[in-house]
Chain A
């Protein structure tokens, strides 16, 4: 046994003497993941910009910005769900359902506030249903939200008869949401920034955020340390529903009417891809809003670039799917996952 004690002592002193250089420190402050994302963005910008100078016009940058606002919102909440150790694939359907219901409530009442409030309420209820299925029905989150992905889409089609509903294009609030700007920056982007900053603060500086990381990192340890895990699962899914509803409102504002399916289909894929690319570990307990936002920007630029370069949209879908797989493969390789059995 004395050999083992000296060995640990040596390892300890080695760790204590290990002082990283300034470059390494800067790298670790930003995070390896984020640095690679920034480099990827620079690379993609250089390639697309050199092929098509239109890319750098202000108009095009606005197009990218407004395009990423909606998927960005969903990516942010998806990141929180993933940090908790779960997944929510119903976010796109919730956005569709709230888009169409917000427009319908607005058409009937004529009050934008009621449309907004109603949509958010419906979003929260959808999230609560997800949470209850998972917590009380003991259904795996992927299966639970796969089921509600279909169900919420169905509800949206039922209430709307499968067509776009209402007209919000004349309402000053919805117009401001869609096309207004503050200090030269589109309102849509402000919404994204606001939600991102809030999410970042909650995750980074509050007990709520810290416990979300704890539950995702080790749910047994969290439970034994006195954290009420079920409350966190329900809460996170409800917040996810609310933010998905905000995304739904942005869809309504941009198109001028409530879209049951067309504006939101496939957004869950983009949200999960962005979170994974941004460094959120699908096992839970790890991930940052900053990483996700960088990934959202990268994805936005890629989509825009592919369109500018005339890549057909079917190929774009193939590329998006491939990107999700690549993002997760990179993650697994970095975590040193053993190649045995089904991946955890």
Chain B
């Protein structure tokens, strides 16, 4: 046991971190051993990214300590963690667009004014050669010309040239092709044999079992456990990741659905590929998938914020083409986006203002807003949706997440929509408001609205919807009825590798 302990190069112990009322991490433990790959797994929102940000020093934990070689350390920022030899490979690396790969690799390591360009190119070339990337990327390429895979390689090289003791990869293969993945795995195995402690975040089961020596699973911000990779299989791992009690969640009673209101047939653009789906009046249809599966992009494509390059969109049986969200709003489609603060709310304006935003014209005579009608609308929806606000004139930015979300929902309910698209309607919302939002969605469907709900929380998507489409890599990988659906079955579809297309 004692020499096992000595193997631990880096540890996070009892880490707790909150964002406002939301607990992102509760007493999480992570140990990274020298010469081992430790996989960090968990669903969306399990706390993996937050933990990585604490390891880099981007976030400060409220409780708990980081230990390097058994000694407690504090990282006030990314500079500190790098200086200590701890590197995290970002999923979407920052690349300086106008300088060469060589300069990008040694960025931050360039000391002072004296630098010799050809020497730098040589050093970068040698490093790329040494790690086997020389065939994939040349040191004199310019940052802006790099492919996503090459950008990822630059980011990895930045860490490698500094000779780190601890290195964490955050879904490094999501932008890599098969060849590059093979090189990356060789690199990781080599680092392992050189005694580096490696952390590896990924959603891809196959990779995990190829690489990992140990697997640490997080769920809802808490630690589920750490297992040796040889002691566990796919099913066991999925059970550890989901293993939640469904009974506490809302379960919608399905009602006989009406006519098809929204229909997509092979809808394709830069973000989604060949999406076909239907939503009937009175139906709640869920869209599940992992982060980056293209769900939010699908929503924005439906409302006309992104253009469709091929395929058809039909609303109420009629073929339609939305050139902008203004068209879809006019066609009776409401859309509550995922990024509530950035994309839905006027944070500086009042509750009344925000609720009336999408239907101001209906609340006015010629160009003059009928303030009494507007106020009455706000009062009505504050009551109906139980928005906890002192008055209609409260500034929306001061409300809690759940109440802000209700304001967004009220905005669209007020327009009397035929179709409502909800992207992560309960993100950052406390438990009480969550169940109220589920009830609102249910009532809406009962009144005949066709509802499409994107959610990363599997119990939520199962509980709230009648049918579920699962997306991965911009495709729909499956459709399941929510009755009888399990988190495991959905997660398996969501983690499917690039589908072979028929």
Q: What is the minimal beta-carbon distance from A23 to any residue of chain B, in angstroms?
A: 19
> Secondary structure of the B side of the interface?
mixed
* Given known A218-B345, A227-B326, contact A210–B431 (CB-CB < 8 A): no
Q: Which B residues lie within 8 Å of A8 (CB)?
A: 21, 400, 402, 430, 432
Cα of A285 to Cα of B347 in the assembled complex, Å: 10
Which 3 residue pairs of A and B lie closest in terms of their CB atoms, listed nearest first?
A226-B329, A4-B21, A217-B346
Q: Which A residues lie within 8 Å of B400 (CB)?
A: 8, 11-12
When the two chains form the complex, which single residue of B330, B337, B402 contacts A226, counting CB atoms closer than 8 Å? B330
Q: Which A residues lie within 8 Å of B356 (CB)?
A: 210
* Given known A8-B400, A207-B360, contact A1–B353 (CB-CB < 8 A): no
Assess whether A226 is in contact with B367, with CB atoms less than 8 Å apart.
no
When the two chains form the complex, which single residue of A16, A210, A223 contacts B390, counting CB atoms closer than 8 Å? A16
Assess whether B348 is in contact with A217, with CB atoms less than 8 Å apart.
yes
When the two chains form the complex, which single residue of A18, A207, A211, A223 contacts B305, counting CB atoms closer than 8 Å? A223
Cα of A218 to Cα of B347 in the assembled complex, Å: 8
Cβ proximity bits A1-24 to B, threshold 8 Å, 1 near / 0 not: 100110110011001101000000
Assess whether B335 is in contact with A224, with CB atoms less than 8 Å apart.
yes
Q: Which B residues lie within 8 Å of A7 (CB)?
A: 21
* Given known A4-B21, A221-B344, contact A226–B358 (CB-CB < 8 A): yes
Q: What is the minimal beta-carbon distance from B79 to any residue of chain A, in angstroms?
A: 15
| B321-371 at interface with A (beta carbon < 8 Å) | 324-326, 328-330, 335, 337, 342-349, 353, 356-358, 360-361, 364, 367-369, 371
When the two chains form the complex, which single residue of B347, B364, B390, B411 contacts A225, counting CB atoms closer than 8 Å? B411
Task: Flag whether A330 is at the interface (Cβ < 8 A).
Answer: no
> Secondary structure of the A side of the interface?
helix
Q: In the complex, which residue of chain B has the Cβ closest to the Cβ of A7?
A: B21
Task: Flag whether A213 is at the interface (Cβ < 8 A).
Answer: yes
Q: Which B residues lie within 8 Å of A227 (CB)?
A: 326, 357
Assess whether A4 is in contact with B343, with CB atoms less than 8 Å apart.
no
Assess whether A214 is in contact with B361, with CB atoms less than 8 Å apart.
no
Q: Which A residues lie within 8 Å of B328 (CB)?
A: 226
What are 9 A-B pairs with beta-carbon distances under 8 A?
A7-B21, A8-B402, A8-B430, A207-B364, A214-B353, A214-B357, A221-B344, A224-B303, A285-B349
Interface size on B, residues (CB 8 A): 43
Task: Flag whether B388 is at the interface (Cβ < 8 A).
Answer: yes
Cα of A285 to Cα of B291 in the assembled complex, Å: 32
Q: In the complex, which residue of chain B has the Cβ closest to the Cβ of A223?
A: B325
Task: Flag whether A286 is at the interface (Cβ < 8 A).
Answer: yes
Cα of A269 to Cα of B278 in the assembled complex, Å: 56
Task: Flag whether B23 is at the interface (Cβ < 8 A).
Answer: yes
When the two chains form the complex, which single residue of B305, B348, B364, B430 contacts A5, counting CB atoms closer than 8 Å? B430
Q: What is the minimal beta-carbon distance from A310 to any residue of chain B, in angstroms?
A: 43
Cα of A224 to Cα of B302 in the assembled complex, Å: 12
Cβ proximity bits B14-53 to A, threshold 8 Å, 1 near / 0 not: 0000000111000000000000000000000000000000
Q: What is the minimal beta-carbon distance from B378 to any residue of chain A, in angstroms?
A: 13
When the two chains form the complex, which single residue of B346, B364, B390, B402 contacts A15, counting CB atoms closer than 8 Å? B390
| A1-58 at interface with B (beta carbon < 8 Å) | 1, 4-5, 7-8, 11-12, 15-16, 18
Q: Which A residues lie within 8 Å of B349 (CB)?
A: 213-214, 217, 285
Most B CB within 10 A of own CB, among A7, A207, A222, A225 = A225
Task: Flag whether A228 is at the interface (Cβ < 8 A).
Answer: yes
Assess whether A223 is in contact with B430, with CB atoms less than 8 Å apart.
no
Cα of A95 to Cα of B367 in the assembled complex, Å: 29
